[in-house]
Each structure stands twice: as structure tokens, then as C-alpha cells.
Amino acid sequence: MSDTARTYSADQLWLADGWSTDGAFAVDASGHVAPPEGSAERLGGWVLPGMPNLHSHAFQRAMAGLAERKGKSDDSFWTWRETMYAFAAKVGPEELKAIAAQLYVEMLKAGYTQVCEFHYLHHQPDGTPYAQPEAMSLALIEAAREAGIALTLLPVLYMTGGFDGRPLTVRQRRFGHDLSAYVHLLETLRSHERDDLRVGIALHSLRAVPEEAMRSLLATSAAKDVPIHIHIAEQIGEVQDCLATRGSRPVEWLLDHADVDKRWTLVHATHLTGHETSRLARSGAVAGLCPTTEANLGDGLFPLADYLDAHGTLGIGSDSHISISPVEELRWLEYGQRLSTRHRNIAARREGDSVGETLWRAALHGGARAAAMPVGELRTAARADLLVLDDEAPLLAARDSRSLIDSFLFAGNVPLVRHVMCGGRWVVRDFHHHDEAGIAARYRAVVERLARG
């Protein structure tokens, strides 16, 4: 062990199989977990791995709350999208960096220690590339490093405006790439990879990536051994259009036409048949669920019970960032099922199982797979990404290992994450990020400028 390694202890440490009272571990000089050695600094009573956030559109944080007025027609995802396009047109690299840094600070304080950024805001508003074509991607990388969060950057391939192959609209042009330019972007960004950054690929959706382009991309070396994410089956309209043009439902079509495996994350996957549910579970892919955004947009409810019974893998994301809280995502994942079935404790599939532990464990595992990083576990050689809960919080008084996670997720809205370590570095202490004031000031200046037009 290096002389610079530090050893810590906790009364209760969350490991892969649950709480352990043998809560000692070390953090080595590279920011990874190592076996304990020597005297230990006590962290607190309850220490958990940090949660990966498997789906984020960072720029949308600054428009949260701006799409909640009734329109002239029936509001839906599609009317919300028009508001989003108008806002996106105002955001350049400077604005994106400020917004993302603020978002990532908020994520860390809430208990997310890694984020998968599904990034499609590539070019200038008129579709012209920036002088440095990767400028918007670099803004996200810089924001993540400033905040101290681990990042899986997923540049998005976006080519067409619908299943029928229509060209991109004026407001979509800044999202678009041809295949060669997209592969070049990936290769350029991979030169920036290090322990806190992984670069994968994202297919925006089946409606935005033609079949031939998808096949060509997946056959390139750029798609080898990297995480692959895609929006899919979020809206009924999307399912209907896929049936009309490709003759099958989106998830069914993808499973039939691509080698979907553990590298894949299918974001939303809301509207599934029973057959699609079981096939998705068997594939090993991650269902990327974003319950607060899915509720905000009126998407629908994922078939959670059937998917868990089929031993499917899932993770959570904050997507449009109308909420930035793993607690709230997991709470509403369960509550949506309770409202639909009019029963309780849906995620716990066996008598005596804890809902909170089932969901927390599943989201850690699926989030780590989606991120393609050694996160989500406090084990040797994993990143030292962890949360220390507040021992003094009244909500955790008189709780033991059987009730702690359930109380954390379902007992209230008071912040319970007191300290956060990311990559072996303390980024949040006593509920405060080390640079939150400066980052917030820059964010306020940017959004005030955007509001002025």
C-alpha cells in the first residue's frame, strides 16, 4: 500500500450482498478502493456506494419548470419537445459548461457520483460546426472535472427526423452528423479518456438513426467494447410509427436487428409487451428508467414486476432534471407501480424482502453496467465513490440494518447525504460542495442572460 493511501471505517458498510459490520477499507493514491491497513479514520454509521446516474441531458436543467403551462392543444411529450428545442437554440459551450457544472454539483450533493451524459447538442444553432467541432462535448468534460463527478460521455448519432427518413428540421440540425463525422468525433474525444471519463456511443432513437447507418456504425472499431445507449419505446406514438414503417415494435425490432447485450442501455423502454419484457431481460441489457421525467412528460409506466421476475437489469437516470435525486427516482419507480396495481411493496418480489434494498441494489448494479466504469460497489480496485449518511438525522434515529435503506428512500425529503467522496476525493463535506458558491454564481449569470434572450 502506498504511503499516501488512507484507511477508513464505518459502523455499517454497504457491500454487494448488503450491510457489513466489518466496515474497514482503504483508498489508494489513484482513488480506488484497497484492502485496509493500519489505523482507520471513522466515517460514520452508514456508508454506501455512490449511485450512477445513467441518463442525463445536462442543458435541460436550466429549463426545468419552464414547460408547465397549459398549451392550446393537448400537452404531451411532443409539445414539450418544441419548448426544449427553443431553449436548446440559446445554449453554446460557455452556457453548457456553466449549466452542467451546477447540475453535477447538485447530483453529487444528492448522492450521484457518476453520470452518463446522452449528448446531442453538438453544433451551432444553425447546424454549422464550431471551429473546434467537439467544443460542446469538451464543455461537458470540463464541467464534470470541475465538479468532481465521474462521466461517461455518450455523443449522440442523430441523422433523420423520423422513421420515414425525413431530413432534420431547422431546429434539429445542430444535433446531426453523417457517419464519418460522428466516428471522427468519437476518436477525438477518446484522446481525453482517463479514470474519470469514459466515452461510449449513443443512438438517439430508431426514428433518428436509419437501419443501414446503425449497422455500419456497430461494425466499426469505434463501437467495439464500449457502452451503447439508445432512447426507445418512450412514447405510444413512437411505437405506432415503428410498427407502421418497420413492421414491429421498437424493442422487438432492435432485439431482432442488433446484437443487444450487456453493453447496451435501452433508455425508458416504457411500452413493452410481455414478450419484449422477457427478451430484454434475457439480453443482459440495462433498462434505463427515469421515473420523474417519465412522469413529468406523461410517458407511461415500465412493467417493473414482470421485468424483475425475469431477472432483468435496471438503472436510474434524472434525464431532464426536473428532479435530481436518486431517492426520488427510486421512490417514484415504486410508487408508480403501487398506483397502477393498487398494491404495495411491488419491487420486493419475495416475502420479507426490502423494497428499498431491492431497488438500491438493482440501480447500483445496472448503473455501473451502463456507465462501463468500476463503480456502484465498494470493492477492491473499484473507484472510491461513496456516500456517508447523516448519523444525526432524526429520520434515521433508531434504525438498524434491516430498515435503514427503506427509511433513506421512503421516510421523507430531508437531505440525508452528509459527505460524498468521488474518486478518492472528498467533494461534499457536511452537505456542501467545495466550490458550490462559485459554480452557482456562474450558473445564475448564464441563466439570467439566457432569460433576457
Q: What is the set of active-site residues?
A: 268, 319
Strands 23-27 and 33-34: antiparallel
The Cα 217–Cα 203 span in angstroms is 10
| Nearest of 425, 409, 266, 230 to residue 332 by alpha carbon | 409
> Which helix H or strand E contains 452, and what residues bound it?
none
The residue with cell 459554480 is 439
Q: From CA 384, how far away is CA 87, in angstroms rounded?
A: 36
Question: What kind and span of H or E run contains 201?
Answer: strand 201-203
Q: Is the dihedral of CA 115, 120, 124, 129 positive or negative?
A: positive
Contacts of 438 (CB under 8 A, 6+ apart): none
Rounded to a whole number of angstroms, the distance between the first and last alpha carbons of the chain is: 55
Of 444, 442, 422, 447, nearest in space to 110 by CA: 422
Report yes or no: 77 and 234 within 8 Å, Cβ to Cβ: yes
Nearest Cα to Cα of residue 304 among 363, 256, 260, 255:
363
DSSP assignment of 221-270:
GGGTTS-EEEEES-SHHHHHHHHHHHSS-HHHHHHHHS---TTEEEEE--
Identity (one letter) of the amino acid at 391?
A: D
The Cα 23–Cα 43 span in angstroms is 10
Cell of 369: 453496467
What is the rounded distance in angstroms from the CA atom of residue 166 to the CA atom of residue 160? 6
User: How far, in Å, are 77, 119, 156, 217 from residue 168 at the CA level?
Assistant: 18, 17, 14, 19
Other C-beta atoms closer than 10 Å to the C-beta of 180 total: 10
Cβ contact 299:77 at 8 Å? yes
